[in-house]
Amino acid sequence: MKETPFRKHIPALDGVRAIAVLIVICFHFCQGFSHEANAFVGKIAVWGQTGVDLFFVLSGFLITGILLDTKGSAHFLRNFYVRRILRIFPLYYITLLSLYLVLPILHLNQWTPFSHSVWFWFYMQNVPATFAPELASGPNHFWSLAVEEHYYLVWPFVIMLLNRNRLFKAIGLAVAISLLTRVIFIHYATFYFTLARLDGLAMGSGIAVAARTQGLSRFCSRTRLLLAILGPVLVLAQILAGGEGLPVVQIVKSTLIASVYACVIILIIENQCG
């Protein structure tokens, strides 16, 4: 398939990343707002947790773009993993060392049994977070880093082995796996589980592939229509079923939210690069 020239750096996406971080922070800050005077703020702030979905879509787009742009180059895999390790590992492991070793020595935190911390050292903390939270003690908000690392571990090999037509099939399969996982493990906290969070990463990856093959302009009208439909549907679902824990909502909401953010990112990219 013929490749479409693509502008590599899109400044507006830096702003999108910042928004994703800020709304997640807002969500955590306002979680305790149950007082009547703050109840409305709390209901609005709950949407902040979708910042993770936005970040996953954005991450899928950026990482897949890097992989596609460097595919076939010398030391393709080595260069990718070295850059990821240097970007993430130092600060991550300094944080864990501080939490599990330095702070207990200074009597600022309790000692954590190694069996409870080992999940974090190997980026597997989202597994007990899903199935047995009592087995792991640590910074629970690091679950999203585990999802990202699992994606980094597998996706470069998929990019390397598949042509771009087959990549779209792999992306569709990833979304289907997310939905199926949430059906199978409906009684668990699949919000944290890697296989249940592939849809956002996959959609972002699909945008990167489309941008470099077909271009995104042909999708803009359909994207606006989809956004106009899904946006009100999600707002209405939150008003009518928010906090009810309905199984069908738990199964489809991440995919729908990721779809909304994918539409937003497509329109931003097209506006910046079109």
The answer as to whether 114 is a domain residue is no
User: Which pLDDT value is given to residue 192?
Assistant: 95
User: Which pLDDT value is given to residue 184?
Assistant: 96
The answer as to whether 203 is a domain residue is yes
pLDDT per position as a tens digit, 121-155 = 999 999 999 999 999 999 999 999 999 999 999 99
User: Which pLDDT value is given to residue 160?
Assistant: 95
Two tokens at 70? Answer: 């460097």
CB < 8 Å & 24+ apart, contacts of 35-43: 43/242
Which residues in 139-209 belong to E strands, given as ranges? Answer: none
User: Which pLDDT value is given to residue 254?
Assistant: 92
Decide: 95 and 154 in contact? Cβ < 8 Å: no
d(CA 76, CA 201): 21
- One DSSP character per residue, 162-200 reads S-HHHHHHHHHHHHHHHHHHHHHTTTS-GGG-GGGSHHH
Q: How many domains does the chain have?
A: 1
The answer as to whether 197 is a domain residue is yes
Q: Write out the residue range of the structural domain in which residue 65 sits.
A: 11-73+152-273
The answer as to whether 257 is a domain residue is yes
Q: What number of residues does the chain have?
A: 274
52 residue type, one letter? V
The answer as to whether 232 is a domain residue is yes
The answer as to whether 101 is a domain residue is no
The answer as to whether 56 is a domain residue is yes
With H, G, I as helix, E, B as strand and everything else as coil, classify residue 82: helix
Mark the ranges of the chain whose per-residue pLDDT is less than 50: 1
